[in-house]
Amino acid sequence: MQKINSVKGMRDLFGEELIKHQYLSQIFRKLCTFYNYEEIATPLVEHIQIFNRSLGETSDIVSKEMYNFKDQGDDHLVLRPEGTAAVARAYISNNFQQKLVNKYFYIGSMFRRERPQSGRLRQFNQFGVEFFGNRNILSDLEVILLADNFLNKIGIRKKLRLEINSLGNKESRGKYIESLKEFLNKKKSHLSEESLRRLEKNPLRILDSKNSKDLEIVKECPKINSFFDKESSDFFDGITKGLKQLGITFELNSNLVRGLDYYNHTAFEYKTFEEKSQNTILAGGRYDSLINMLGGNNSTGVGWAAGIERIVLNLVSKNKEKFTISVFSNSPEFNFEVLNLIKNLKPKDNLQINFLNSGNFKKKLSKASKLKSFACIILAENEWKEKKLIWKDLISDSQETFSLDMIEEFLNNKLDKK
RNA sequence: GUGGCUGUAGCUCAGUUGGUUAGAGCGUCGGUUUGUGGUACCGGAUGUCGGGGGUUCAAAUCCCCUCAGCCACCCCA
């Protein structure tokens, strides 16, 4: 039989990597709960229109990366490619606009059919926050503050820089795009092939091109902020002033843009200093028209999402110290007694017990030490007659007996000394 | 989607200009007699050489296709 592997770009998660995932989720959940964000878990599968409408038909995600299929009832469905639109849909479906507080966070898998490489998978995990309500710079600031705190807590903030820009409101951005197109059309002969395509589809993206030819021209491009109306520039000023007040260091990057249609005003990204292509770890911004695009009211919102796998790449080991005790009998006829013994033990945080069920006495001891057990509990025939057990410390190589009804106290005592 | 590199035991790899039954280290399993491990010594097992096709008397080695992994582009978290 030919062996079957996992689907391309989708990996099994286990060992140290899984521990890091769990560690990150745990910290994130704790922090969000503290700031009164409510966890929400939306379905993995959504109607295709949710993303078609919100991300924009020309975006790569919609045009070629979504896993989409018709189910047996002929419904056109997709595996969700991102979280924001799904949470916005949930906001509408469940009439969250009635609620007093509208701050949510999520943790979950997203799916995009791209060519896998470092920091990019077809099934990957994100967590993110969304803050709905009236447009207010304080919401943007709160959401960034949460991100900054989180990155600090997990110890990678120093490896990152925060870049910030504003896309302005719809009107000023429209004017800017027109002028940008006009400018770039004159320079067509100097642009890369990709950028020529982008000029038609999504001219803003030319601004963050990595092509050296394009970079020359981008330097001379008109800047978005010179097209801001009063509302747009006041809003952005508020954000930058606020960040300074909060002591959050950032860099302005007037070429930072967004590939998705729903963004306006604030855009920000935390990037590593590495010169690799997947160096954005956390990205977000304001999306005032999203709810409306999906058929809801005029609620506005701001939020961000972070790639868990990308954070893990930058995380040092998170292995918690655990103590292992191996448990076994000296003869196979007592195996059920050993099972009974461990059945009644109370689980403890930093302890794992391991029942050894095969091999002779020597093999069991040998296995116990290979498993790095610090001690063994041995149920041995002679001692068991008086309901006593052997405690063998594998580090000091000392041995003692204790009686079965004292086992909890005995174990606690041993662990306290660790 | 485009381009480059890679693919040999569970892991890390060797395999000479195509030439007998494909190797090493680590790990695993067993042994060095009875209820005492870690070390040491001895021994065993494991591979359709990623998959398919072709060239050849002969292919892990050469050619084609395909799949997967990594990296860059594209895109994005």
pLDDT by residue (tens digit) across A352-394? Answer: 999 998 888 999 999 999 998 999 999 999 999 999 999 999 9
> Would you call A328 exposed, middle or buried from its count of C-beta atoms within 10 A (0-12, 13-18, 19+)?
buried
Which chain A residues 22-51 have CB under 7 A to strand B? none
A249 and A341 inside one domain: no
CA distances from A72 to A69, A78, A120 (A): 10, 14, 31
Share of chain A above pLDDT 70, in %: 99
What domain range is A140 assigned to? Answer: 15-169+229-312
* Number of domains making up chain A: 2
Give pLDDT, residue A104: 98
pLDDT by residue (tens digit) across A60-114? Answer: 888 889 999 999 999 999 999 999 999 999 999 999 999 999 999 999 999 999 9
pLDDT by residue (tens digit) across A135-165? Answer: 999 999 999 999 999 999 999 999 999 999 9
Contact between the CB of A280 and strand B at under 7 Å: yes
The verdict on residue A92 lying in a domain is yes
Asked whether residue A2 carries a pLDDT value surpassing 70, the answer given is no
Distance A1 CA to B48 C1' (A): 10
Contact between the CB of A261 and strand B at under 7 Å: no
> Would you call A127 exposed, middle or buried from its count of C-beta atoms within 10 A (0-12, 13-18, 19+)?
buried
The verdict on residue A87 lying in a domain is yes
A34 and A150 inside one domain: yes
What distance in Å separates the CA atoms of residue A203 and residue A58, rounded to the nearest whole number?
Answer: 11
**Between A265 and A321, residue with greater pLDDT:** A265
A165 and A65 inside one domain: yes
Chain B, protein-covered positions (CB within 7 A): 1-3, 28-31, 34-38, 48, 51, 67-77
Which chain A residues 146-165 have CB under 7 A to strand B? none
Contact between the CB of A383 and strand B at under 7 Å: yes
pLDDT by residue (tens digit) across A234-264? Answer: 999 999 999 999 999 999 998 898 878 789 9
Best-predicted range by mean pLDDT (A43-47, A62-66, A179-183, A258-262): A43-47
CA-CA-CA-CA dihedral for A358, A362, A363, A368, to nearest 10: 100
Asked whether residue A175 carries a pLDDT value surpassing 60, the answer given is yes
Asked whether residue A173 carries a pLDDT value surpassing 60, the answer given is yes
Q: Report the largest interatomic distance among the alpha carbons of chain A, rounded to a whole angstrom.
A: 96
What distance in Å separates the CA atoms of residue A324 and residue A369, rounded to the nearest whole number?
Answer: 10
Give pLDDT, residue A187: 85
Distance A143 CA to B67 C1' (A): 44
Yes or no: say if A266 and A164 are a contact pair by the CB < 8 Å rule.
yes
Sole residue written with tokens 């939020």: A303
**Total Cβ atoms within 10 A of residue A189:** 6
A275 and A354 inside one domain: no
The DSSP-derived string for A303-354 is: EEEEEHHHHHTTPPP-PPP-EEEEEEESSGGGHHHHHHHHHTPPP-TTEEEE
A33 and A116 inside one domain: yes
Identify the bridge partners of residue A379 per DSSP, sorted by sequence position: A329
A34 and A143 inside one domain: yes
Give pLDDT, residue A1: 55
**Phi (first) and psi of residue A306, to 5 degrees:** -125, 145
Nucleotide in closest CA–C1' contact with A330: B35
User: Any residues with CB less than 8 A from the CB of A45 and at least 6 apart, and which?
Assistant: A77, A78, A79, A80
The CATH number assigned to the domain holding A345 equals 3.40.50.800
A272 and A371 inside one domain: no
